[in-house]
Structure 1
Amino acid sequence: MFISEAYAQAAGGSAGGLESLQQFLPLVLIFVVFYFLLLRPQQKKMKAHREMVSQLRRGDRVLTQGGIIGQINKVISETEVSVEIADGVRVRVIRSAISEVLAKTEPVSGASKDAASKDEAKEEGEAAAEGVEAAPPAAKKTNLLGKLLGKN
């Protein structure tokens, strides 16, 4: 009697492999949904934060995790920066404690800076030859606009 029951359970066990896979499948699906809804976005945020922290420069206005707003005065090392939070008040902050860059300073390329200074020197030279002081660029644009509109 016991032997026949053992054979019956063994014969039913071969179909049980598929059944156990069906029971395991919802758990796998829950893990996949969990990964795409929670883990992956968090990893993207961490990667963006690491990139933002690595690109910090002198002159950037930043917000720390503690809520302090200041301007980066000096990059001390790969892990620390000096942030000026008021006139003459400087605080050393760990880079990872910076939560947001409020205003980013743009690098000035050497070629455009040299070209701009050459143009200004040329205009000043022409104005000096005429005996007139060089006008600021904004005034020249207004004067040009006046000429175009017939209002000199």
Structure 2
Amino acid sequence: MGRLVEIGRLGSPYALAGGLKFRGEEVILHLERVYIEGQGFRAIRDVFRAGSDWVVQLLGVTSREMAEALVGLRVYALEEELPPLEEGRFYYFRLIGLPVYVGEALLGRVVDVLDTGAQDVLVVEGEGPRLRDRAPRLIPLQAPYVRVEEGSVWVEPIEGLLD
């Protein structure tokens, strides 16, 4: 089996036929199956929009009671089953561990990507001999001065970004 990548969580039950609200990546729209934490693989019967929520229906989950047993569980996909992305886009889990450079100097490594609502933010754990050097830094990912290429993240050294 390949590497499992977390793509979201199951939320509250939806209606009476076993649907569950889904909080996570829209990549679920392109998958035939997912791995449910502690439950194994489940085929996806349907995914649809209900207001502002995504609802997923899993094969074999046919009642509200069955759905209630899955609330809060993490949802994973096999990395090799993820659909390809258009050029210039990337899956955030692939950013974890990448070195981050400011100019030519190594700042640290990406340890997380936060969804802040307005934009996604890289959490970079610094490297260096002093405690201050190792403090986590937050860098807006969509900023024009940030680029991801060749297995690294490059940040143009702009005033005030890392103060």
Normalised to the residue count of structure 2, the TM-score between the two structures is 0.25
Higher helix share: 1
Give the number of the structure with larger relative contact order, counting CA–CA contacts within 8 Å between residues 6 or more apart.
2
Higher strand share: 2
Q: Which structure has the larger Rg?
A: 1
